Amino acid sequence: MRKLIINSLLSAGLAILFLAGVKPLQAHADNVIVCIDPGHGGEDQGASYSGYDEKDLDFKIATAMYEELSQYEGITVYMTRYGDDTLSLKQRAQIAAGYGAEFLYSIHINACDDHKMFGSEVWISAYGNHYAKGRSFGEIAENELESTVGVYSKGVKTKLSGNGKQDYYGIIRHARSNGVTGCIIEHCYMDNDHDIGYAFNDDILVQMGKADATSVAKYYGLKSTTLGKDYSGYKRAVYEAPKAPVRQDDTPPEYVNIELMEYNAAESTAKLHVWGKDSQTKIIYYNYSSDGGATWSPLHGWTAETEGYLTIPVSGPDVVIALYNRYCGGTESNHVILY
C-alpha cells in the first residue's frame, strides 16, 4: 500500500503533499533509517548508450540493494522511487528527509563525452560531518565494488560549485540542506569497453546492488540472520568533520619522469621505469604514445604509488607517458628515444 501511495502521488507531481500529508511506515526507535535513490527515471533517461538507458540500469542496482539491505536487522530501508517516476533532485532529497533518513544513496552508472573513462567512484559532500560520514561510507563502498565485483576504483571525491560556496552535485546539496548525508555511487561506465561487461549484465548489476547493501551493513555494523551475515564487529574508518570545505584537486600531477630500461626490437616492446607524484590526490590512470604524443593508447589503471615499471608495445621511436589523477588532471613525462 505504501508503494502505491507514493507512486500515485509522485506521478501526479505531488511529492510535497506526500511529505506533508502521508506518513511513511514508522521504523522502530532503535533502527537506523536510510533511503536509496535510483538515479534519473521517467522523462529523465540519464545517459543512453548501445540501446540502454541509464535509468533502467540504476533501478536494477537500486532494487537489488533495497532487497538485500532490507534483510538486515536494525535498519529500515526506503527508496525515492519504486517505479519509472520523474523526480527532481530537490524532491528526492525531500522524500529522504520525510522518511527521517540519515543517509541518501543515489545510484548511478557513469558515462563521459570522450568515452575514455572506466571504473567506479563515490561523490560526497565537502562539508562538515556530511563529509566525514560520506568518506567513511564511500571508502567501504569502493572497496566492496572492487573486491567483490571487480570494478576498478577511482576513489571517493568531493566537488564544489564554480563559486566554491556549495556542493556541486544537486542531490548532495539538497540532501545536506535537508539534514541528510547524501552520496552518489557511480558504479562503472556504460560507454567504455573496459566496463560494458559490467553495465550491460543483469547478474552483475544485482551483484553491484548487493555490494552496496553490504557496504551499508558494514558501515552501521549490522547483521542478518536470514542472510547469515554479521558485521557487528566491523571496524570502519572514522574521520573528523573538517572545519573548511574539502575542495577538489584542480591541479595535475606535479611531475612524471620515465627511464628506458629495455627496448626489445624483435617484440616491439619497451620496458620503462616510471616516476610520478601528485601530493593532493591519487594517480589512477596512465596512457602512452610511441610517436611523440601524436596518438595515444587507451587509458589503463595505474596501481603503483610513486614509481613503477611498465612494458608497453611500441610502433615508433619516441615514447612518452602521461599519468592522470582522480580528477582527470594529466601530466606528460619526458620523451625517450628508442632508436
309 three-state secondary structure: strand
In sequence order, the 6+-apart residues with CB closer than 8 A to the CB of 332 are 256, 293, 320, 321, 322
Q: Which of 188, 194, 197 is nearest to 108 (CA)?
A: 188
DSSP state of 294: S
Rg from Cα positions in the chain: 22
Residues in the chain, overall count: 339
Instruction: Name the H helices within the chain.
Output: 2-11, 15-21, 54-69, 89-99, 128-144, 170-177, 193-199, 202-220
30 burial via Cβ count (<10 Å: 0-12, 13-18, 19+): exposed
Confirm whether 2-230 and 255-337 share one CATH topology. no
Q: Would you call 61 helix, strand, or coil by DSSP?
A: helix
Nearest C-alpha neighbor of 281 from the set 301, 252, 303, 307: 252
Tell me what pLDDT residue 100 has: 98
Note the pLDDT tens digit of each residue in 228-285.
Answer: 999 999 999 999 999 999 999 999 999 999 999 999 999 999 999 999 999 999 999 9
The confidence score (pLDDT) of residue 162 equals 85
In the sheet that holds 181-189, the strands lie side by side as 75-79, 32-38, 103-110, 181-189, 120-124, 153-157
Crossing angle of helices 128-144/202-220, nearest 10°? 130
Cα of first residue to Cα of last residue in the chain, in angstroms, is 74
Q: Would you tell me how many other CB atoms lie within 10 Å of the CB of residue 226? A: 10
CATH of domain 255-337: 2.60.40.10
In the chain (339 residues long), the average pLDDT of successive 10-residue segments reads 40 37 43 97 96 97 98 98 97 98 98 95 98 98 98 98 93 98 98 96 98 98 98 97 96 98 97 96 97 97 91 97 97 98
118 by Cβ neighbours in 10 Å (0-12 / 13-18 / 19+) ranks as buried
Write b or e for each residue in 240-277: b if 16 or more Cβ atoms lie within 10 A of its Cβ, otherwise e. Answer: eeeeebbebbeebbeebebeeeebeeeeeebebebebe
Q: Which three cell numbers stand for residue 19?
A: 511529505
Q: Where are the domains positioned within the chain? A: 2-230, 255-337
Could you give phi then psi for residue 221, rounded to 5 degrees?
65, 50
CATH class of domain segment(s) 2-230? alpha beta
Q: CA 172, CA 137: separation in Å to the nearest integer? A: 14
- Tell me, what's the pLDDT at 12? 35
